[in-house]
Amino acid sequence: MPSSPELAAPAPAAPGARDVGAALRTWNRRLHYFLGLYFIFFVWLFALTGLLLNHGQWKVAEFWPNRKTSTEERAIRPPAASDQLAAAHDLMRQLGIVGEIQWLATRPAPSRLEFRAGRPGLTFEIQADLQTARAKIQRTELNASGVMNSLHTFTGVRVGDAKNQRDWLLTTIWALAMDAVAVGLAVMVLSGLVLWLALPGKRLGGALALVGGVLVCGWFLLGVRLFSP
């Protein structure tokens, strides 16, 4: 007796479809753990510096009281460039300083050039008098905790400050690396969701963790603003 269409076994998937699905699952697993291995030290760096920023009372987190500061005055050759940025780069080359330039204020006088330059953990305050061809340089050096703290917030730009733009190549590379970390973590999360859905035995626990994370994050995004006095 022929079986009814309703009871007939489903037709097996075509070999090509199985191969494509298996390949996608394999590449998803590889993407997940390769990204995890590549970003592991970036994530640890931000996790550790986040703890230090959140617990400034810890002894290991203290860096500003332990800073080393020195001041010197040196002769300079007044830069020929009229552009402030070019003039600042000229002075930095003369003084052997490498790093990102940060303008502190408007130029106090045509004969003076004042700015801050440096890199994570090392800062130079430069006050140059172009008439007397002398420059005062204050050097501030931080310990390892200070370097990590600086890396956590080091971008070269500040919101609402049009004067300061990235002008050091390594600052741009660092900013691009942080963009890559952000995108990579988003991809890792999505690939992790795919891996989780492929494991039926883990779905309940994973769903509880997912809902818990959404609720806590949602509270900080919306609840604190809406329900706090």
- Residue 77 placed within a domain: yes
Evaluate if residue 124 carries a pLDDT over 70: yes
For 21-89, give the DSSP string. Answer: HHHHHHHHHHHHHHHHHHHHHHHHHHHHHHHHHH-TTSGGG--STT-EEEEEEEE----S--SHHHHHH
CB 151 within 8 A of CB 49: yes
* pLDDT tens sequence across 176-187: 999 999 999 999
Region label for 65, one of left (φ > 0), alpha (ψ between -120 and 50) or beta (otherwise): alpha
Q: Which helix (H) or strand (E) holds 122?
A: strand 122-129
Evaluate if residue 225 carries a pLDDT over 80: no
Find the domain containing 127 and state its range. 60-176
- Residue 103 placed within a domain: yes
Number of Cβ within a 10 Å radius of residue 19: 11
Q: What is the pLDDT of residue 154?
A: 85
Evaluate if residue 221 carries a pLDDT over 50: yes
* pLDDT tens sequence across 64-100: 888 999 999 999 999 988 788 899 999 999 999 999 9
- What's the one-letter identity of residue 229? P
Evaluate if residue 229 carries a pLDDT over 80: no
- Residue 160 placed within a domain: yes
The CA distance from 57 to 152, in Å, is: 18
- Residue 184 placed within a domain: no
Distances (CA, A) of 178 to 50, 63, 115: 15, 24, 26
Q: What is the mean pLDDT of the chain?
A: 84
Residue that is written with structure tokens 């500003």 in the block: 64
Instruction: Quote the number of domains for the chain.
Output: 1
* pLDDT tens sequence across 126-161: 999 999 999 999 999 999 888 888 888 888 877 666
- Residue 162 placed within a domain: yes
pTM summary value: 0.71
Q: What is the pLDDT of residue 1?
A: 47
